Amino acid sequence: MPQEALLRVEHLVKYFPITRGIIIQKQIGAVHAVDDVSFEIYKGETLGLVGESGCGKSTTGRTILQLYRPTSGHVYFDGKDLVQLKGEELRHMRRRMQMIFQDPYASLNPRMTVGEIIGEPLLIHGVARGKEMQDRVEKLLAMVGLNPAFSNRYPHEFSGGQRQRIGVARALALEPALIVCDEPISALDVSIQAQVVNLLEDLQKELGLTYLFIAHDLSMVRHISDRVAVMYLGVIVELADRFELYNHPLHPYTQALLSAVPIPDPVAEEKRQRIILQGDVPSPVNPPSGCRFRTRCPLAKAICAEVKPEFREVSPGHWVACHLV
């Protein structure tokens, strides 16, 4: 039985204009942050999105939620194209999509109490107020492992891990179907990271949530994700089931990324061959022609500079964009 897609992203593009001039601004270029990205997320699954800093992961998440309006492309959520929605229609759909932000220090308003922060979505969408809202806030705090009596405290009275739990509670307030987790653990201590990831997994089982999990940490992505997409310079280069991707990586970039993940076995770690990529990531303002990765790829051929590789399915559920596969 085929799985049902909750979110379908088709040819998503997001460019940020570069302008010159103070009074009369003239566009002189664009940052190609996300360039023709397509994938699906099925109901109840976690899709991991990995890649190095500046490759467009967070921009992809924000563009899906329409926090950034896309330059072109389509985002179908539950069959509705979010790109076509405006005003009240979009606001209504936003109840079902939420985001957990990367920085638990910057994403919580320091002038609001925890109760006000978590209750704000309920007020804005007219879901609850007064005593009903207070009860809901306390229930949400208990759900993420915090003392409900903490609702009168301010964010500065909490640790980083506790703040991120508050962010999770706020995201859950409107009972969403999809949560975009934008590197929710990268700012936390390693011991706290496991607690937050376990909390997210428990909530997913309990509430039937669907996650887009954006991260740098490949071992953590392997732990939490059902499928993994690898991103490089604004494009997805490989997408597969987590076991398939980690055991049989096909794209040279994925192979290089995975060769950097430590193995908890000294003998295997010593024998292993690291793939060291040459040079730096090209500028997204002027990306390379053809394959984006060709300037650093140890296997690049002439065709890689001339033709953009098609993102195609090479085996059931395993997609890759590479001429050499």
**Partners of 190 in the β-ladder:** none
In sequence order, what are the residues at sequence separation of 6 or more whose Cβ sits closer than 8 angstroms to the Cβ of residue 111? 154
Q: Which helix H or strand E contains 41, and what residues bound it?
A: strand 26-42
What is the Cα 181 distance to its own chain's centre?
6
What superfamily does domain 5-96+176-320 belong to in CATH?
A: P-loop containing nucleotide triphosphate hydrolases (3.40.50.300)
Q: Exposed, middle or buried: residue 25 (CB in 10 Å: 0-12, 13-18, 19+)? A: exposed
Amino acid at 51: G
pLDDT tens for each residue of the chain, 325 residues long: 457 889 999 999 999 999 988 888 888 889 999 998 999 999 999 999 998 888 899 999 999 999 999 999 999 998 899 999 888 888 888 889 999 998 888 999 999 999 999 999 989 888 878 888 889 999 999 999 999 999 999 999 998 889 999 999 999 999 999 999 998 888 788 888 888 898 999 999 999 999 999 998 888 888 899 999 999 999 999 999 999 999 999 999 998 888 877 777 777 767 777 777 887 888 899 999 999 999 988 888 999 999 999 999 999 999 999 998 8
User: In Å, how far are 108, 238, 309, 322 from 317, measured between CA atoms?
Assistant: 39, 11, 18, 16
CB 12 within 8 A of CB 83: no
Tokens of 180: 């975009």
Give me the pLDDT at residue 130, please.
Answer: 85
| Cα gap 285→204, rounded to integer Å | 38
What is the reported pTM?
0.90
Domain ranges of the chain: 5-96+176-320
| Cα gap 171→165, rounded to integer Å | 10
| Cα gap 146→152, rounded to integer Å | 13
Amino acid at 96: R
**Partners of 213 in the β-ladder:** 48, 181
Q: Exposed, middle or buried: residue 13 (CB in 10 Å: 0-12, 13-18, 19+)? A: middle
**Partners of 41 in the β-ladder:** 7
